[in-house]
A and B are shown apart, each in its own frame.
Chain A
Amino acid sequence: MTLTREAPVVAAPPAARTRPRRDGLANALMVAPATVLYTVMLIVPVGLAFYLSLTDWDGFSANPAFVGAGNYADLLDDPELRRAAAVTLLIAAAGTAGLNLLGLGFALLVNGASRANTFFRIVLFYPHVLSALVVGFLWSAILGTSGAVNNLVTSWGGEVLPFLSDPEWATVTMIAVLVWAGFGVNVVLYLAGLQAVPHSLIEAARIDGATRWQVFRNVTLPALGPSVTVNIVLSLVTLLKTYDLVVSLTAGGPAGQTQTVAYLILWNSFHDARLGFGSAQSVILMLVTAALAFVVTRLRRRGELAVHQ
């Protein structure tokens, strides 16, 4: 039996004609605070940075000269920027891998509901609570030439380990400290993702005889797809902006070999009084970061869709 019902034909009351307009006004009013905040906090500073990048502003004078694309042309010839860009990309790539591997690994270890797991989650997240400056000074006191580790090594008759005095060692040390200080956030994000994996799927796979690795590889990991995307993009964007740890751990040394782009921007802008040039570097960093985040998101989305299909 099929029940059908004809829609009653009702003439629209006169008041309803003005509703869309009123709804539009209400929507606009509700969106306005967010729009104003977004404009003032993001659009205006970005616009300002772009404008300043076209001037030779030194940070002091009220009337900077307009230099057009001069600062951007100078960027192409800047060996310091090329070196800093390579260091930044290395930190971003290796750091993102480290943060996500450790984040996911520890999230799997502390995923169960027990008091011990709650304790370990706090311990793992704790380094992230510390200021990056504090983290840098702390590790420099531990790993410096006259730091705790080297004092121990030399007292046992060993050679000083050049954690912060050799360019390669210093870069690896910085990546390791960045990962140590940041992976707690990834643990939390992966834990949230793991809690959302349907238990029925895991149970079904186990009933079908899948091993732990097979369950992880074929059920848990694909289900974690969106979490992986968020973690990778967040790690990448954060690491591309690495600044404070450079200041406190290596001060950009040895011989400028651990200077990142963000460090160089701040240094050029305020220390060398070249805010126009620094702004041009900021604009480029912003565009590169946005492009990388976009590409990674697209690639991950494509992968996630392939898994679902």
Chain B
Amino acid sequence: MRSPRPSLFPLWPALGSLLLLTGCGGGGFAGDSQARQDENGQVTVRMLVNISPNLTQAYWDGLVKPFEQANPGIDVKIEAPTGKGVADTLPQQLAAGNAPDVVETLMADETLAKQMLDLTDQPWAKDTPLAEQAKLGGRIYTVGVGVQAQSLVFYNKTAFDKAGIELPPTTFDEFDAAMGKLRTAGYLPLQTGGDFLTGLQLLQLTNPSRAQTHPTWQQDVKAGTIKAGESMLPHLERYRTWIDKGYVDKNALGMKYADAETAFLSGKSGMYVMGSWFTATEAKADKDFEVGVFPAPVDEGQQHPGPQGATLAAPYMILKSTPNKDAALKLVQWLVTDPAAVKSQLAQDGNFRTGVERDFTPLEKEVQAILDAAPAGVPQGEGYGDASLPKGFNSAWNTEVQGLYVGKSPKDVAEGVDRWLAGRS
């Protein structure tokens, strides 16, 4: 049994000396808020963002420029992660007492929410995408720009023609048959990869089917009424047959995410499971075939298209400890409501938002149609808001799913997932 919670008081002298050494100031845990202005009355809002091939430092700097021009008293400082990503960098900055004012990419969970500003009372917050689904304990901590469709299968139209596949598959049986035809036609049927891709693709592909079998999967797993691994066992077994039949590359784990994307765009493979942000990469790629997209298949007898895996695009949170609360609120409101800022962010990373018109590529039009036709949006894997599993679930799932490539049985993989969850309960 755990003893009553002591405070971190005994650590302050030690942390203090470390802070003195590093020269860090400001930020820190909630409660040490203090206005931070320079001698000209200029407020600097520090925003920690995700940097990716689509979202470069230069893009972020350019994005917030109009906001700075419209608000001469506010300077927005874009900060790239110093660790592996935003998820690693934020706790390091918090521990060092050097937390940013705004953080992009992460979504509130039970751990993060304690450090974040409650945005429920902000009138603009409730109209942002997935605001209702991302609520935690009825409160809004995260606001986003748009929606990322997750359960999409991109395909090489030339490969489908050569393989004699006239219509995209709607069920897993048809999907299997299509892969067989693609293999006969000389293509790698399904492009997979190592890194985080292996587990992510299986989650994306199975969202519509899983959401019909277990509509509240995350909540049920959390409550212990179903086991995550056990409930996914049929999908794991099917994936294993794809490896055995050569429908996926048995050496795929030696490919990084970018390599897998490049391999698909080079025309060597027939299909590639990915989120809607892939449309931005596809638009820039130089290729000699056309790419199409269809919603992930479902099991026989299930509704198709099924619920679409949906995550928040460009989610923002404000740290409770910010000394510049008003400026941070103003910035985040602008980022998620200003039409030009919203359109720019949606286009830059291939994301979507109902009611926002922008110049779509043909592939993006297809994705928008899939989103419009989907009966619902469902959280994926680790989930968000009240429908979230323990932190690290997606990585643990990925590690276990990769086991299918190195000789683990689907049952062992499912048990591995359940063992991990049991250890975190």
Contact = CB atoms under 8 A, between A and B. Distances in A.
B112 A60 contact: yes
A67 interface: yes
B166 to A, nearest CB: 31
A47 interface: yes
Interface stretch (A174-182, A208-216, A253-261, A290-298): A253-261
Contacts, number: 148
A48 B6 CA distance: 15
Interface string A233-255: 00000000000000100011111
A79 B395 CA distance: 16
A163 B254 contact: yes
Nearest to A70: B2
A218 to B, nearest CB: 47
Contacts of A63: 5-8
Interface range on chain B (Cβ under 8 Å from partner): 35 or more
A273 B95 CA distance: 12
Nearest to A40: B17
Contact of A271 (B3, B395, B406): B395
Contact of A144 (B2, B17, B254): B254
Contacts of A61: 29, 111, 114-115
Contact of B87 (A48, A56, A270): A270
B91 A275 contact: yes
Nearest to B392: A272
Interface string A38-61: 001000110110010000101111
Interface in B4-18: 5-8, 10-11, 14-15, 17-18
A145 B249 contact: yes
A56 B195 CA distance: 29
A167 B406 contact: yes
B280 interface: no
Contacts of B92: 270
B392 A271 contact: yes
B330 interface: no
Nearest to A79: B419
B422 to A, nearest CB: 11
10 contacts: A60-B111, A61-B29, A62-B8, A66-B5, A74-B423, A160-B254, A252-B399, A271-B87, A272-B395, A275-B95
Interface of A: 40, 44-45, 47-48, 51, 56, 58-68, 70, 74, 77-79, 140, 143-147, 160, 162-167, 170, 247, 251-257, 266-275
